[in-house]
Amino acid sequence: MDHFTYNNGTLCAEDVPLDAIAAEVGTPFYCYSSATIERHFRVFTEALQPLPATLCYSVKANSNLAVIRTMAEMGAGADVVSGGELIRALKAGVPPERIVFSGVGKSKEEIAQAIDAGISQINVESEPEIAAINEVAAARGTKAPIALRINPDIDAGSHDKISTGRSEDKFGIEWTRAHEVFTAAAALPNVVPMGLAMHIGSQLANLQPFRDAFVRLRDVAAMLKADGLEIQTLDLGGGLGIPYDGSTLPTPAEYGAMVKDIFADLDYRLLFEPGRVIVGNAGILVTRVLYIKEGATRRFVILDAAMNDLMRPALYGAHHEMVAVADPGQSPREPADVVGPICETGDAFGNGVSLPPLKAGDLLAIRTAGAYGAVMASMYNSRALVPEVLVKDSNFAVVRERLGIEELLSHEKMPGWLPQTTR
């Protein structure tokens, strides 16, 4: 469910007509619904009750400060994967004791940031990383809390580029070595191993891979505890999929029931890292039609949005539903290839999309774009980074301004051996 609905033939974000936002901020722009974010966060939280659960929102899904703050106000923690994301989470008001730092390649500078901030735990993914954390913590005269991320060798069945729990993936430490590595870490003077972590992939459409991985995690934790090693937390990661194409996927309630079936009788603090399932369909990309081009065999709808604004279709072959902002609902549908203006054949949002008759100047909304949309955008072709807008009831605010070519050029310098430009 989301809060993007038609009112008198005009698509609205909550109580705000999208054409009114477009008139003020221009196109393209991302638009997020506070009500949808809040509802999805509440549904996920309620699905896990009464477990001792902390939801650490996966900042990489959508790292806008206002989006993070919306969830922080509801009690969310944050899962971060870079020093920049850590700074964002803290600036958005997430308490450090509700922040976990994941990722396979943390630099010593980022490790120092995490230790100095006093975050809940660092999820470690290799033995060299454990050594680096011990070294950085020793230099600060403190001890760093860590959790060992294990790789359970479970195929999540999702897209190959977003599967993270197979033995050939770069993430985590082989689950068969968990006892050896955890024991060695416990002997170090400046790290405190306090738990285990796991994340097997993104956009999972089936609960069985979760169940298989969680059972393996539970068994590894039990083995460690039986040998006298203290386990306080289990980080179960994220990955629950959302229906980009209207298909039926497991609900948070079904996911929560499965988690409770495995962990309800165990004495662990459970951490979760939902991202896409919270913000995915809480956002849309609004774009304007530039041209309608009649080709020899197909009709092209050319937009002012492009693959640099929303990478998922070009990167993953991902599907996003597209709808006209002005649509009385009675017009016949016509198939069209919806494309952007970038000089790449891959700059396409969909082929044979069924749309009402469109003309230059009409607005189109690309749905389910709240996750991995703005965060993956680039300035390819020297195009601007588009604004982000947050809606709350009948109000809206620009929460990231359009960043154009002048901002980009201000960070570039001409070397002394080349003539300096004067324009």
Binned at pLDDT 50, 70 and 90, residue 161 comes out as very low
Please report the pLDDT score of residue 166 as a whole number. 44
Structure tokens at 119: 């975050």
Of the candidates 195, 212, 256, 311, the one whose C-alpha atom is nearest the C-alpha of residue 42 is 256
Interatomic CA distance for residues 269 and 256, integer angstroms: 15
The answer, yes or no, to whether residue 251 has pLDDT greater than 80, is yes
- Average pLDDT rounded to a whole number, residues 171-200: 92
Please report the pLDDT score of residue 245 as a whole number. 83
Q: Is residue 343 among the annotated active site residues?
A: yes
The answer, yes or no, to whether residue 75 has pLDDT greater than 50, is yes
Please report the pLDDT score of residue 171 as a whole number. 65
Please report the pLDDT score of residue 163 as a whole number. 46
- Average pLDDT rounded to a whole number, residues 352-381: 96
Contact 118, 86 (CB under 8 A): no
Structure tokens at 287: 């774009």
Query: What SS3 class is residue 355?
Result: strand
Find the angle CA(417)-CA(378)-CA(96) to the nearest 5 degrees.
110
Of the candidates 248, 252, 305, the one whose C-alpha atom is nearest the C-alpha of residue 31 is 305
104-159 tens-digit pLDDT: 999 999 999 999 999 999 999 999 999 999 999 999 999 999 999 998 877 555 44
Please report the pLDDT score of residue 246 as a whole number. 80
Question: What pTM did the predictor assign?
Answer: 0.94
Please report the pLDDT score of residue 162 as a whole number. 44
Average pLDDT, the chain: 93
Please report the pLDDT score of residue 159 as a whole number. 46
| Alpha-carbon separation of residue 301 from 188, 285, 293, 340 (angstroms) | 61, 16, 6, 8
Find the angle CA(133)-CA(139)-CA(141) to the nearest 5 degrees.
100
Check whether the bond before 17 is cis (ω within 30° of 0).
no
Alpha helices, DSSP H, located in 118-158: 127-139
4-31+280-409 adopts what CATH topology? Lyase, Ornithine Decarboxylase; Chain A, domain 1 (2.40.37)
29-71 tens-digit pLDDT: 999 999 999 999 999 999 999 999 999 999 999 999 999 999 9
- Average pLDDT rounded to a whole number, residues 330-346: 92
Please report the pLDDT score of residue 156 as a whole number. 52
- Average pLDDT rounded to a whole number, residues 282-286: 98
| Active-site residue identified among 12, 31, 56, 343 | 343
What DSSP line would sit under 179-221, residue for residue? HHHHHHHHTSTTEEEEEEE---BSSB--HHHHHHHHHHHHHHH
Query: What SS3 class is residue 102?
Result: coil
Domain regions of the chain by residue span: 4-31+280-409, 34-278
Match domain 34-278 to its CATH number in 3.40.50.2300, 3.20.20.10, 3.40.190.10, 3.20.20.140.
3.20.20.10
The answer, yes or no, to whether residue 170 has pLDDT greater than 70, is no
